[in-house]
A and B are shown apart, each in its own frame.
Chain A
């Protein structure tokens, strides 16, 4: 591991974490060179965020998480208090664009003049020049509100017109704005404007203790509550030197796979619904409801919220409950198998699925596509497979992979992963180790760092933590894979017709709350 970073000319120190992780600090002048070398070595940009270190008598810091085959590298770039500028990296890693803009809005850490410097999270809730995530801004303060003028990129030409959609959408969907430029029915360009759900999550974390933060982490994106709660717990356990019991890790594995199955069942239903196969919606949502009720019975919550806690899990799974879970899943699996053959053989559905909303493997690689949707575009990355830490070690998880990158491929990946997750749950229940389900948390020194990195159903969820004194949080950045994937949706709709947008969007099913923070 350290050998890889010597190659980058970095002095990286190992970080105590469940996943292989390293930290390094570099001057701003070296940032682009490091990113270019990392990109050449096929490392991906996992996240980019900033922090205010003025309380530590320093300036501001830009942070990057880079994913190498051998582990995660946390790069910090200290910047001055007076002039927190850095050279932008969005030309090297395109997914950095919105992360750079969000960091500028929240902290006034600004990329160089050649970068896209349009605002992102800031709408009208606070004025230009105010930076709410700086330590000198009171969390309860109400900042001066102003008009929101956002410079969308106009498309001109004969017969081109715009359709503005949102933020309030026609269905039960999270709010966001989509600006379509179209000719006839064909989409020439889509521009997304998000940030409507920004509710100050990162600022809220800084008012909390490590223990209190677990509940908030589980509500960054409610549909991925287990993935976030686990990533949070992993970060806190790293920072406090706590070792969760092996039984707890196996139970977390069960919870994470159940979350994946529940979300995939729901999406498969909606994907049927969006091609007028409402039969699929009703069948899959019946099965999903059966599973949610099983969750409530066995774990006390339909979506498994607050089941994963720092140090372990909140609730044990007794032997008889484990057996009933396996029996329930076996019943659902049989039905999913017959629904799959109905979907596969339904000419109308396949006609809408195939070659709709395509993301080619080349584009996916260039743009940094990640998670479930990337696995449908030939990028066979999956943290459970690539870093087989407990409880995945003995289970030999298989990453789903398809190459066509269309809606049909994303449907196929969901079917594959549903069956694989059922196998994993069954194996985990059968091999559940004996012992405690929760270890007491150690105390964290001020300035301790922790990282959590978990393959949620949508993709990899990252939590980067730095503690303050008295078990409090100095800075916490939760990172959703949707940051990487939203820009790909803009590409996927090119040349498709407007009525296929809801279908393509659903096949991605990205989080708004997870990126608006």
Chain B
């Protein structure tokens, strides 16, 4: 126990400041009103859906949970069910085998809701494109509010995308 506490004390606080939103990442104009966004901005529940990625984007979503980014300190947390979620964070080109599961997850998420597509594949279909097995970009299957490019986008870029989605229209 002594060693554990010593390690915590030695490490200290490593959290870095959060990025600012970037309107250029918007795919759809902000649909939600100021009042709702003020609530989301203080307690945002996110459900992640991997719709067919190579698992590279998942690595960065995991990394975003490291103490460097301190998500919960920003009022953001990942939840285990779409029923508890305000936002879906969707990775990958949408494989045809995941098309129904993604639509059902989206339908199970209560309104008002937001969708952020992550990675080059989520934005455009990426290297996998559209084929007999792939529907391509996420917006081919469900409406997307913000799309974050990158292969994979780093945690700061993903966080910026999330914050952009909950920022009021200016």
Contacts and interface: CB of A to CB of B under 8 A. Distances in A.
Interface string B47-82: 011111111111111110111100000000010111
A331 to B, nearest CB: 13
B56 A219 contact: yes
Contact of B7 (A342, A345, A346): A342
Given A139-B132, A200-B132, A305-B56, A123 B97 contact: yes
Interface residues of A, number: 61
List the 3 closest A-B pairs by CB distance, nearest first: A222-B56, A200-B133, A125-B96
A196 interface: yes
B22 interface: no
Contacts, number: 163
B97 A198 contact: yes
Interface string A174-199: 11000000000000000000011111
A204 B131 contact: yes
B122 interface: no
A52 interface: no
B51 to A, nearest CB: 8
Interface stretch (A283-291, A311-319, A363-371, A379-387): A283-291
Interface of A: 123-126, 132, 137, 139-143, 145, 167-168, 170-175, 195-201, 203-204, 215-216, 219-223, 225, 266, 279, 281-283, 285-286, 288-289, 292, 296, 302-303, 305, 338-339, 341-342, 345-346, 511-513, 516
B134 interface: yes
- Chain B interface size, as a band, is 35 or more
Interface string B127-155: 11111111000000000000000011010
A303 B59 contact: yes
Nearest to A166: B101
Given A170-B80, A285-B65, A286-B14, A203 B50 contact: no
A53 to B, nearest CB: 21
Nearest to B5: A279
B133 A288 contact: no
Given A174-B58, A511-B55, A125 B66 contact: no
A305 B154 CA distance: 13
Contacts of A288: 63, 66
B56 A203 contact: no
A174 B50 contact: yes
A420 to B, nearest CB: 23
B66 to A, nearest CB: 4
A296 B157 CA distance: 15
A516 B55 CA distance: 12
Given A123-B97, A303-B152, A512-B55, A289 B131 contact: no
B56 A223 contact: yes
Given A125-B95, A286-B11, 4 more contacts: A170-B81, A197-B98, A199-B93, A204-B131
B82 to A, nearest CB: 8
B69 to A, nearest CB: 9
A279 B151 CA distance: 30
A292 B66 CA distance: 12
A125 B132 contact: yes
Interface string B1-21: 001100110010010000000
Contact of A175 (B3, B63, B101): B101
Given A204-B131, A303-B152, A342 B3 contact: yes
